[in-house]
Amino acid sequence: MLTKRQEAELVTAVQGRGEIPLKFAYIGDGAKNWDTIAKERSVTSGGINSTEASLLKRRLNDFVSTLKSDKGINIVDIGCGNGVPAIPVLQYLSERGIPFAYVPMDISQEMLDLAIVTIKTRFPNVICKPFQMDFELGQFSDVMYEIKKDGSANLMLFLGSTLGNHSDLSRVLTNFRDSMTSKDYLIVGVELTNLAKINKIIPHYEGLQINMFVGHTLRYLHISEGVFTCGVSWNDKLSQIEMRANFTGDIRAEIGGDSFLIEKGESILLARSIKFTEYTVTKLFSDVGFRTELLTTSEDRGYILTMVQPTRYSI
């Protein structure tokens, strides 16, 4: 399931920071676990993807009219998941006869495959150009440059509040920024949280389905569920929800011929969800070197969509 490089990254993360990077949970069979969760958050459920979809639909006219291209638009769906969140954008373009290609990018081949099935089912004639890549490892200007050689424009999407799952937000956003020219745009969807009511949202991270999803990489390491319990807590200092495996016994984990010990009482971070306010999210984009072209929030101020571009000149 994991490449040699990913195995090395995994062992280093466990031993160095006591963390299993969440991105590995989407690889292989893990894609199905995510698909199940995503369907629960989707259009009919009133979950965050449904809020994001209605906000997108409301403001797409503004977003798309900002792009200048007679040669069509590449919708670059970064961290595409099952592809469903991109549908409102493609629907909008399709209804107006604006030519587009769908360019999903993801670490997981299985997620890319699922996204293409979703999109091809809705838009049978669409050109799909999938790219399997890890956006934490560096910029991908080669891909962005290649797809717009025909004179089309690039609109990148980073939807589903995926930003908050990463340990180093600036690094992820810097990689995006360094992959963009000043003609490319990026739309990011992020959930906003009332930090005074954090206890109310902790239950959203509990349950069998979600434990199955975040526990995927532990199973890859042949660590059985009998030796740890899952716990969810709020880390006030880092402003993040944390999901941890708390070990109740010693266990030797094996990977790529190497083995290492996890001791009773140790805790391994399986997932984080950084919580933002409008101030922290807009400051983050500005600090990384993005200018905001458009910004919109849901009526209840629980979700933000922002369309940004690299800042060309320092002010």
Ligand X SMILES: C[S@@+](CC[C@H](N)C(=O)[O-])C[C@H]1O[C@@H](n2cnc3c(N)ncnc32)[C@H](O)[C@@H]1O
Query: Token digits for 41?
Result: 């958050």
Question: If binding is defined by CB under 6 A, does position 159 make contact with ligand X?
Answer: yes
Both tokens assigned to 7: 């195995």
Residues 163-192 that bind ligand X (CB under 6 A): 165
Residue 111 per-residue DSSP state: H
- Report CA torsion sign: 28, 29, 34, 36: positive
CA distance 240 to 190: 14
Which of residues 135 and 185 has its CB atom nearest to ligand X in the complex?
135
Q: Is the dihedral of CA 39, 163, 308, 301 positive or negative?
A: positive
Beta-bridge partners for 188: 158, 306
Q: Which stretch binds ligand X (CB under 6 A): 92-100, 131-139, 222-230, 262-270?
A: 131-139
Residue 216 as a binder of ligand X (CB under 6 A): the answer is: no
Which residues ranging from 56 to 95 are in contact with ligand X (CB under 6 A)?
Answer: 79-81, 85
Under the binding rule (CB under 6 A), the answer on residue 160 touching ligand X is yes
CB 160 within 8 A of CB 189: yes
**Contact criterion met (CB below 8 Å) for 288 and 174:** yes
Structure-token pair, residue 155: 């609109």
Q: Which stretch binds ligand X (CB under 6 A): 6-14, 141-149, 156-164, 190-198?
A: 156-164
Q: Is 6 in the site for ligand X (CB under 6 A)?
A: no
Question: What residues numbered 101-120 form the site for ligand X, per CB under 6 A?
Answer: 106-108, 111
- For residues 96 and 173, give the distance between their C-alpha atoms in angstroms, rounded to a whole number: 31
The number of residues that bind ligand X (CB under 6 A) is: 19
SS3 of 151, please?
Answer: coil
- From 54-62, 128-136, 228-236, 275-283, give the range in contact with ligand X by CB under 6 A: 128-136
Task: Looking at residues 22 to 41 of the shown chain, list those that interact with ligand X (rule: CB under 6 A).
Answer: 23, 26, 38
Of the residues 7, 19, 35, 134, which one makes contact with ligand X according to CB under 6 A: 134
Residue 176 beta carbon to ligand X: minimum distance, rounded to whole angstroms: 11
Interface residues with ligand X (CB under 6 A) are: 23, 26, 38, 49, 79-81, 85, 106-108, 111, 134-136, 159-160, 162, 165
